[in-house]
Amino acid sequence: MNRRNFIQNTATVVALAGFSNVASGINQVDLKPSNSAKFKLKYGPGFGSFPELAGKDPVEVIKFCSDQGFRAMFDNGFPGRSVDDQDKIITELTRQNMDMGPFVIYADFSKESMVIKDGEIREMLIKKVNQAVELYKKSGIKWALMVPGRYNEHMAWEYQTANVIDIMRELSEIAEKGGLTIVLEPLNKRDHPGLFLTGIPQAYAICRAVNSPACKIVDDMYHQQITEGNIIPNIDAAWSEIRAFHLGDNPGRMEPGSGEMNYHNIFKHIHEKGYDGVLCMEHGRSISGKEGELALIEAYRIADNF
């Protein structure tokens, strides 16, 4: 399949026929074919973002995404892939000059992982970070995502916060020596009730207390919109501690333009601040099939048109 010609011949039709919701508020005259240029920011599709257009082979997916102007990929489950797949992915990303967003090393939503002092849990987390350091040395992917787990219903919040800071200081020391950066992800209370870390201001305070270049934030703007909103001012306030972004419109966690968030202005603001990291496309598609995959690409062309 000639990816470029296929997208060029169909993107405008999709945009006009079934994509007015994404284009709302943006001048339609400015629309360009979906693969006309590299995106200004490093939006990173997941390996399942384009099953109809790109298939399931990770190397072919990377080629397709590069052809459409994307400059990054993301894969939460990268550590769980076979060594052969990991090697193929890294080789192709290098060939395409693309980055990879953070992979997940620990995110157990069922346990009070960091808020309590537990020797067994501590050893498990240390092992996870050491494994992530080894994966970084092999792959060059230097961001590893962690979630502190659930809060404790019987312990004062301040003690729990101090425990999280203590363990993160220890884990960050290991990560820093190995060249890795741990990024903490706050998640919203509506979708994930009971978790300790729920907001950007809270994550910022923890990172400042840990005081390590290896302890930073992944700002998931879908979660942030639900939890505290005020997206751009919160990005500015926590800027020194943010190292990556996750994307998804609200409600629905679909592509930009499908909900209430003005990603066009958000992306413009982030670009003007000089951000050169990955923005992981951790969301679904509001339209099914090939049309939805084309609409997804067009959504980012619209939002990136600044």
Q: What is the CATH number of the domain that holds 30?
A: 3.20.20.150
* pLDDT tens, N- to C-terminus, the chain (306 residues): 454 444 444 444 444 344 444 444 333 334 333 465 899 999 999 999 999 999 999 999 999 999 999 999 999 999 999 999 999 999 999 999 999 999 999 999 999 999 999 999 999 999 999 999 999 999 999 999 999 999 999 999 999 999 999 999 999 999 999 999 999 999 999 999 999 999 999 999 999 999 999 999 999 999 999 999 999 999 999 999 999 999 999 999 999 999 999 999 999 999 999 999 999 999 999 999 999 999 999 999 999 999
Identity of the residue numbered 97: N
Half-sphere exposure of 83 (CA within 13 A, CB side): 2
Number of domains in the chain: 1
The pLDDT of residue 157 is: 98
**Contact predicate 197/187, CB 8 Å:** yes
Find the domain containing 211 and state its range.
3-303
- Which residue is listed with tokens 């080789």? 91
Q: Kindly report the pTM of this predicted structure.
A: 0.89
The pLDDT of residue 1 is: 46
Pairing type for strands 103-106 and 215-220 reads unpaired
The pLDDT of residue 36 is: 57
**Contact predicate 301/31, CB 8 Å:** yes
Chain Cα centroid distance, residue 113: 22
Closest CA to 221 of 213, 212, 230: 230
Burial (CB count <10 Å: 0-12, 13-18, 19+), residue 211: exposed
The pLDDT of residue 28 is: 38
The pLDDT of residue 31 is: 39
The pLDDT of residue 24 is: 42
Closest CA to 180 of 210, 220, 216: 216
